[in-house]
Structure 1
Amino acid sequence: MDNAKEFRNVIPDMVTLPQMFRNGGYSVVRIGKLYHYGVPKEIGTNGLDDPASWEHVWNPRGRDCDDEDKIFSILASPNAKTVLQRGSGNYGGTLSWLAAEGADEEQTDGKIAAQAQQFLRQKHEKPFFLAVGFYRPHTPYVSPKSYFELYPQDKVELPQEPPGNRETKPKAALSNTARAHYGMDEDMQRSAKQAYLASMSFMDAQFGLVLAELEKQGLDKNTIVIFISDHGYNLGEHGLWQKRSLYEDSARVPLIIRDPGMNSPGLPTGRTAELIDLYPTLADLCGLKPDRRIQGTSLKPVLENPDREWNRAAFTQVVFGNKKEAEAVGRSVRTERYRYTEWNEGRLGSELYDHAVDPREFQNLAQDASRANVVEELRALLGKGTN
């Protein structure tokens, strides 16, 4: 499956996470982007939503959609100089940005936050499952000018990497940015990163409004809050930008779980988790029955004791190419210490990084004879697949 395929055509009777809550007597609500959307063209629509999952939905649309003709995008080609173009109409998969006029509440994410606040102010006769999906920092990186001012362009730091770093990587691993940095010079890279940081801070401020309203209404005392993203992001590491790489910056996501019933709140953990663990975790915490076909493992034991033993790994996969081109399939497994990746089962290269000493993944140890046993163990784990 991919993010443009409607899962109901594959598993028609699947009980989704919100359906589980709905079946358990909860009011189930979606505001904004939860299932896949084409951004920005499908903002304000249902996108590839699953109607069976929700009782109520809201699809706010803000001035960022009306300001699209003002957005700057990079225009890159394999050999020519990369330049900026305004109003290209090509924003969703291209580095694009705008320091917008107007207030937070005029933007789509501002409207999403306002709708979530309004929902929390209502009288609730049933427990609720509220899914709030913000669009930013998805490209185009649009946020009010004040957020750009938090990150002066001349202060934006670019990744510092050893000479020849890209040459140590399998070619397939660099597929999403085949030309390093899309050919951008350092000033343009700083502009792109400034815009990303600005849109991230803008989204963070909107989420803060929702949390403040939750507390204001006294609902924080019995509400589990989870903050996640669907993927990480490259901002120039290894010459890569955006998502769809198997390096740490792209494959790792934020995961914060706040359960008012836990005995040790606010503690981090070094244990490894996957997004598919959320469904069984919430089922466990709320005493609900999940669909029998779900994958993943409840994280409740880790929430109760963040330092407990936890021998689980996380898996990530990416596919490049299409029917007309040779496919490059990358599969990666991450343990607490190592990341091991194979491209086309190793035929297009393999990678091993020791995060204990190399968290930025510069030194590929896959061919290091002293790590042969580690490679063998992780190759077997990768072959076994998701926990």
Structure 2
Amino acid sequence: MAHTIRDIAQALGAEAEGDLDLTVLRASEPAAAGPQDLALAMDPRYGDGIAKGQAQVAMLWPGADWRALGLKAAIFAPRGRLAMAGLSVMLDPCPAIAPGVHPMALVDASAQIGAGAAIGPFVVIGAGAVIGARARIASHVSVAEGAVIGDDALILQGARIGARVRIGHRFICQPGAVVGADGFSFVTPEKSGVEEIRASLGKRDDIRAQSWTRIHSLGAVTIGDDVELGANVAIDRGTIRDTVIGSGTKLDNLVHIGHNVQVGRDCLLCGQVGIAGSARIGDRVVLGGQCGVNDNIFVGDDVIAGGATKIFTNAPAGRVLLGYPAVKMETHIEMQKALRRLPRMAGRMAALEKAISLLPDVD
């Protein structure tokens, strides 16, 4: 769909100059842009790329000389990535899911489908499930019995929503995500080796055979409004109480949330984050890729942890963490500096030892 520069600028609340009746079909990197593309160069570093493409219009940084760049019009974005967010909404064609219930979908007679919903082929919706108004569910999705999904949801191919899961409005779920699988809960009839090690911090008096007894998951999962799940996210149901994901929280691909975990509002959990059972995550927490959080600990509000950080103990609110195990960022930086100095220090130590060994004996 074509959009005029005027319409885009108004939608973004941005200033624009030049021929505002020009239309664009899509966004593009500057060097690859064609005549009907909007070149994205919101930083001066990317301005040189415009001359390599064929764009007539571009989204530029404030104060850019668009005429000198050979353009016919420009939109000015004081905050580039925020402008990108609004632009992406306008230009996203959205998944093609036909309105109504596809004849090859299987919907239980007791399920409730909201007005304006679109249910794709090979979707299975179980007994007593509730699907909100204007929800869009792509092919091969399953929604188990008793699940409730709010209005304006978008659930893409192959996602699995488990029994009794409750999800708020404007939910977005990428392909392959699983919400409401059983938690990983097992116990041994006798005291296990893991329990012994936790108590003794590594000492084991006796190693013996042991077998595992399954603890079933009787809880479910509760998800707030405006939550997004990436591809192949896995959220386990709680053992007794529900696992909880707060409103506004976003989970990247391959994030795993263990049983009984509570995640607060507006958190950002990047790719391959793993949170072990019964951990509590505060509001607005950001965990970089491959972060790990130990079971039964608390991560306070506004904590930011860099990629691959491993959090083994409670983290105070507002703390910035790095490393394995997690320490304050400034401490981690000093530790890394010290590590880089170790070879030089070892060389000096060896030289001192040699010099001392050559000193004459003193009676």
TM > 0.5 between the two? no
Q: Which has the higher helix share?
A: 1
Q: Which has the higher strand share?
A: 2
Tell me the TM-score normalised to structure 2 length.
Answer: 0.26
Is the radius of gyration larger for structure 1 or structure 2?
A: 2
Tell me the TM-score normalised to structure 1 length.
Answer: 0.25
